[in-house]
Amino acid sequence: MDLYRSRRRLSIPKAIDTQTEEQLGVQEKRFRLFGVMRITEILAYFMVIVPVLLVIMVIFLGHDSYDQGNGFAKASRIIQIKPNVTSEDDSSLQTDQNPKDSVDLSLLGGLLVPGFNKDTCLSRYQSHLYRKAAPYKPSSYLISKLRAYEELHKRCGPGTRPYTNAERLLKPKQTGDPEPDGCKYVVWMEFSGLGNRIISIASAFLYALLTDRVLLVEGGEQFSDLFCEPFLDTTWLLPKDFALTNQFSGFAQHSPRCHGEMLKRKLINGSSVSSLSYLYLHLAHDYNDQDKMFFCEEDQSLLKNVPWLIMRTNNFFAPSLFLIPSFEEEVGMMFPEKGTVFHHLGRYLFHPSNHVWGLVTRYYEAYLAKADERIGLQIRVFDEKSGVSPQVTKQILSCVQIEEMLPKLSKPGEQHKQPSEEFKLKAVLVTSLTTGYYEILKTMYWENPTVTRDVIGIHQPSHEGHQQTEKLMHNRKAWAEMYLLSLTDKLVISAWSTFGYVAQGLGGLRAWILYKQENQTNVMNPPCGRAMSPDPCFHAPPYYDCKTKKGIDTGSVVPHVRHCEDISWGLKLVDNS
């Protein structure tokens, strides 16, 4: 079909017959002139449009090659987060046009998997933007174990047919295969304060990895309010209608189905354990010698035949798992850097919920983001009634000044270097149940200049007065503050405190530990010491040689399991070097 109307009119025979030859000549000339004008117009449009298309192609198709030679382009592509990011409004995230760059960072070197709904757990995809890259990388074997576990959890978790079949074994007058569909479980019972809960869940998860069990955690709505689900397309929360939930309050060391009690009464052996649908494991700080047999090879051989293990613990018992012969090789392959167990498992499992993440990001942007250096100071005095201790105050100041984290104060009349571009803004994040130590530090560094001319800002998010484990808002703030501490460049923590252990582990930091005061008259000398590794201390380890059946110093069996810096009888995982 001809595009020009004039040409269509000329093609009609009737029109040709009525026109003279002269008229046809004139019309032909007009048509030729019109055609030339149309061609010129088309060429003009073409010359304008083609350069525009070429620019667009360079921007979108040549982006990567251009960036390779342009450092400013790379810098401009860094993801920026503005304060007050919420699940309702994610528009403040300026993402990279090449998704590979951001995905590699957000997945923490393969530790995490993609596929989660980003709006339901902002911290999973944003946390790497708030901290420096960790010096510790997950091993390929650990990553493969995590991927295998995720498949196991998806196949055997709550709501699946294997889970229903396994739970049926726990109900009266029900029979079935003691190992239905190859699914076995370890249930973590809610117990103790938030810091203890976090480090003990990490230990239980390591045990689940080593024994091919599915980990389920008790905690209900409060737990889901604090943490995101760690596993894709399934849940790690124990269902409220779990068959044994009503019996949990009665589980104790002397319960008939307690592993330690059955050993004590000589009721457990290879034949008797095969008929058991579940066993209760008491691994809390007050456990006895029989309960501690859990860490013996012989008992692990028996426990592997029990479909359900119900565990109560408030300990980071991972160090003792490294001493069990059947686990030793595999756990060593998972963690070539031995002192990073909680660092990797903690970052894999514990992602702040959107509510808690809002507390973290708003505070960080308001008080910490602009500082040249961020210093965390976690102060935990276990005698809450003692108030502010002058000895503890001196100990804190001695530690941060001797280790050159904070500068000393200028004395009157002292000559100092003139202010220059080299001075720093240091933000100190204080976490404590009371405001006393914060007020002292804030007043000191406000009213007096420093010898280095550095500007020191002291900040404390909350002061709850005393630990309130069962209150949701208290736990939200506690979890947010642990996470904020983990984002600092240098960290000082209090001895014995699991709150501080969580912070240094998540951050991959070797914190300075304030040694516990023996009395209220003398200041500790030295006031603090550097942690050997980021991992927590196992406060109540067994001292027993399962082979010789005699007492032994379990802190001297292998070079990577040593006594803790803050608790002489505790055990800690450290690197061989």
Same domain, 228 and 295: yes
Residues whose CB falls within 8 Å of the CB of residue 42, separated by 6 or more in sequence, listed in order: none
Q: Which of 90-99, 137-146, 387-396 has the lowest mean pLDDT?
A: 90-99
Give the separation between CA 466 and CA 434, rounded to whole angstroms.
8
pLDDT of 205 reads 98
Return the pLDDT at 313: 98
Q: Are residues 184 and 248 in the same domain?
A: yes
List the one residue out of 566, 437, 402, 577 whose CA is nearest residue 500: 566
Q: Is residue 188 part of a domain?
A: yes
More confident residue, 143 or 12: 143
Judged by average pLDDT, the poorest of 276-285, 447-456, 461-470, 568-577 is 461-470
295-299 contacts at long range (C-beta below 8 A, 24 or more positions apart): 295/320, 295/321, 295/323, 295/324, 295/542, 295/544, 295/546, 296/324, 296/544, 296/546, 297/324, 297/325, 297/326, 297/546, 298/546, 299/259, 299/263
Task: Tell me: cis bond preceding 526? Omega within 30 of 0 counts.
Answer: yes
Q: pLDDT-based confidence at 47, cuts 50/70/90? A: low
- Please give the pLDDT value at position 31: 41
More confident residue, 17 or 281: 281
Same domain, 170 and 288: yes
Q: Is the same domain home to 317 and 392? A: no
Query: Residue 477's closest CA among 492, 489, 460, 454?
Result: 460
**Tens digit of pLDDT for each residue in 325-364?**
999 999 999 999 999 999 999 999 999 999 999 999 999 9
Alpha carbon distance 322, 330 (integer Å) = 9
Residues 368 and 323 in one domain: no
Q: Do 488 and 442 fall within a single domain?
A: yes
pLDDT surpasses 80 at 17: no
Q: Is residue 15 part of a domain?
A: no
Is 80 exceeded by the pLDDT of residue 208? yes
The alpha carbon of 516 is separated from its chain's Cα centroid by a whole number of angstroms, namely: 28
282 and 395, same domain (yes or no): no
CATH of the domain at 450: 3.40.50.11350
- Do 310 and 368 share a domain, yes or no? no
Which amino acid appears at position 46 of this protein? F
Instruction: Indicate if the pLDDT at residue 166 is higher than 90.
Output: yes
Predicted local distance difference test score (pLDDT) of residue 98: 44
Residue 309: inside a domain: yes
CA atoms within 13 A on the CB side of 545: 10
4 falls within a domain: no
Answer yes or no: is 145 within a domain: yes
Q: What is the mean pLDDT of the chain?
A: 84
Same structural domain for residues 180 and 296?
A: yes
Q: Considering its fold, how many domains does the chain have in total?
A: 2
Average pLDDT of span 59-78: 35
Shared domain check, 374 and 329: no
Q: Quick one: how far is CA 319 from the chain centroid?
A: 20
Per-residue pLDDT, averaged over 296-308, amounts to 95
Residues linked to residue 494 through DSSP beta bridges, in sequence order? 514
Q: Is residue 317 part of a domain?
A: yes
Is pLDDT above 50 for 93? no
Residue 320 covered by a domain:
yes
Give the per-residue pLDDT at 552: 96
| Tens digits of residue pLDDT in 53-68 | 654 554 444 433 333 3
Same domain, 447 and 514: yes
In which domain, by residue range, is 312 found?
135-339
Considering the domain architecture, whether residues 224 and 317 belong to the same structural domain is answered as: yes
| Residue 125 lies inside a defined structural domain of this protein | no
What digits encode the pLDDT tens for the residues 244-277?
999 999 999 999 999 999 999 999 887 788 889 9
